[in-house]
Amino acid sequence: MSRDDQRTQWFRDSRFGMFIHWGLYAIPARGEWVKNQEQLTDEQYQPYFDAFNPSRYDPREWARLAKHAGMKYAVLTAKHHDGFCLFDSALTDYKATNTPCGRDLVREYLDAFRAEGIRVGLYYSLLDWRHPDYPHYGDSRHPARNDPSQSNEHRDWNRYLAYMHGQIRELLTNYGKLDLMWFDFSYDDLEGEAWGASHIMEMIHQYQPDMLIDNRLEGSGSSRGSIVTANPKPYAGDFTSPEQMVPPDGCLNDLGEPIPWESCMTLNDHWGYFAGDTHYKSARLVVRSLVECVSKNGNLIVNVGPDANGEIPAQARQILTEVGDWMRGNGESIYGCGKAEYPKPEWGRYTQRGNTLYAHVMEEAVSAICLQNMGKRAQTLCRLADHSEVKLTRFWTLTGYDQHAFFFPYPGQASSYPLPDETDTVISVKLAKED
Ligand code: GLC
């Protein structure tokens, strides 16, 4: 196993994480891009800073929810694009400790999640819509992009980099061991060394050598030196970060080798709190998406957007609680698992760890479920959720039936419908070594 494999092992084993997008934008409640989308000036955005007072913020509750859901790591927005810091940075006044809230929200989050045994990560926005030295007029993503009075004549990019690097150093040195840092994002000419990526990496090596990072210090369009090439740049990152989608074949590099990846997904249609967005995914869809990721050697990080009080919306809590109920019985088919040696079956998906294959049955069948081409290898079977015995059966009317193994998910019954768990009925199959 290479050093890289060892570094990313916990991440690849964890498979399921919680993303948390939280900041001033919880107050307008129209998503974390509101300042950009509505082209708000600093003055127009200021009332949210003046009012920010999430009195019901209790990260221990968040951590307990994440734990119940079966999430093994979490990532919180220490600073998002609007530049507001949830942590007590010495380099700016634009931070939670200066609002009516008056607390270092990052420190409390880290303490709470660590206490539940959940690995901790921080998201840090490379963009900053508040810093005076960040390009305004003409920058494709800045809220003031269309305002010629906000020209960039006196803006000093190096001063911004010094600020940004200084904040990253603060996060790397003031908050104990971090498992992960999620940089977001590169665009246009702003990628790689434009962010001073090598310097950022030096700091990471110096202060948090085991910490993992995503791949967004680099632009998505640049393939030279990215994590998918045979010779990735030092800042290419440890995993790829497909957003709001699951790649059809997982992620491979140019040599065809699997690389760590994490699909990030919102629970409704927004990252930051959006009061009017009730378009939530069902627990069943979340579970199935997670299984899909694992079956392709990837992770899923599911987002929650706490509101201005500091609470994760009730609907999100409900969904994650249901996901957790499924994980309680079936988590064994997720953690430490990956792509199986058999192709995707007709009725669902496979995941595998060592000699244990997990058959995730998602579609009911009129008769038995078929483990194709596993006739000689499938040994003992059980339903994972309750460890009830599942027996193999045969169909003498089928030519070549011994190539396949068949089972009914209910012990002692000759039907597969309705499935015991319509979300995903998991059958654990011990495989004999191939002869
Ligand atoms: C995008 C968005 C951002 C969000 C991120 C999560 O890059 O800019 O708001 O934080 O995706 O992946």
pLDDT in tens, 378-414: 999 999 999 999 999 988 888 877 899 999 998 888 8
Ligand 1: atom nearest CA of 21 is 10
The domain boundary, picked from 303, 333, 363, lies at 333
Give the E-state strand segments of 270-387 in sequence order: 299-304, 348-353, 356-361, 369-371, 378-383
The domain boundary, picked from 309, 333, 357, lies at 333
Would you say residue 343 lies in a domain?
no
Whether 218 lines ligand 1, by a CB cut-off of 6 Å, is no
What DSSP string describes 71-114?
--EEEEEEE-TT--BSS--TT-S-BGGGSTT-S-HHHHHHHHHH
* Residues 220 and 139 both lie in one domain: yes
Would you say residue 78 lies in a domain?
yes
Whether 264 lines ligand 1, by a CB cut-off of 6 Å, is yes
Look up the CATH number of the domain holding residue 192.
3.20.20.80
pLDDT of residue 70: 98
Using most ligand atoms within 8 A of CB, pick from 243, 268, 301 the residue to mutate for ligand 1.
Answer: 243
What DSSP string describes 158-173?
HHHHHHHHHHHHHHHH
pLDDT of residue 396: 83
For residue 19, the CA-to-ligand 1 centroid distance in Å is 11
Would you say residue 339 lies in a domain?
no
Would you say residue 341 lies in a domain?
no
The Cα–Cα gap between 408 and 370 comes to 9
* Residues 291 and 394 both lie in one domain: no
The Cα–Cα gap between 74 and 264 comes to 12
pLDDT in tens, 153-197: 999 999 999 999 999 999 999 999 999 999 999 999 999 999 999
- Name the stretches of the chain with pLDDT < 50: none
Would you say residue 342 lies in a domain?
no
Determine the structural domain holding residue 391 and report its residue range.
348-431
* Residues 76 and 161 both lie in one domain: yes
For residue 31, the CA-to-ligand 1 centroid distance in Å is 11
For residue 431, the CA-to-ligand 1 centroid distance in Å is 41
| Sign of the dihedral through C-alpha 283, 285, 286, 291 | positive
Residue 317's CB is within 10 A of a number of other CB atoms, namely 17
Tokens of 41: 């000036």
* Residues 387 and 312 both lie in one domain: no
Ligand 1: atom nearest CA of 185 is 7
Ligand 1: atom nearest CA of 264 is 12
* Residues 73 and 107 both lie in one domain: yes
For residue 263, the CA-to-ligand 1 centroid distance in Å is 12
| Sheet strands side by side (includes 392-393) | 369-371, 405-407, 392-393
For residue 245, the CA-to-ligand 1 centroid distance in Å is 13
* Residues 322 and 372 both lie in one domain: no
Cα–Cα distances (Å) from 49 to 34, 94, 155, in that order, read: 14, 8, 24
Burial of residue 428 (CB within 10 Å: 0-12, 13-18, 19+) is buried
For residue 327, the CA-to-ligand 1 centroid distance in Å is 27
pLDDT of residue 1: 61
The Cα–Cα gap between 314 and 291 comes to 24
Ligand 1: atom nearest CA of 303 is 6
Whether 243 lines ligand 1, by a CB cut-off of 6 Å, is yes
The Cα–Cα gap between 56 and 22 comes to 14
* Residues 380 and 281 both lie in one domain: no
* Residues 125 and 196 both lie in one domain: yes
* Residues 356 and 321 both lie in one domain: no
Number of domains the chain contains? 2
Classified as helix, coil or strand, 320 is helix
pLDDT of residue 5: 87
pLDDT of residue 222: 67
DSSP 420: S
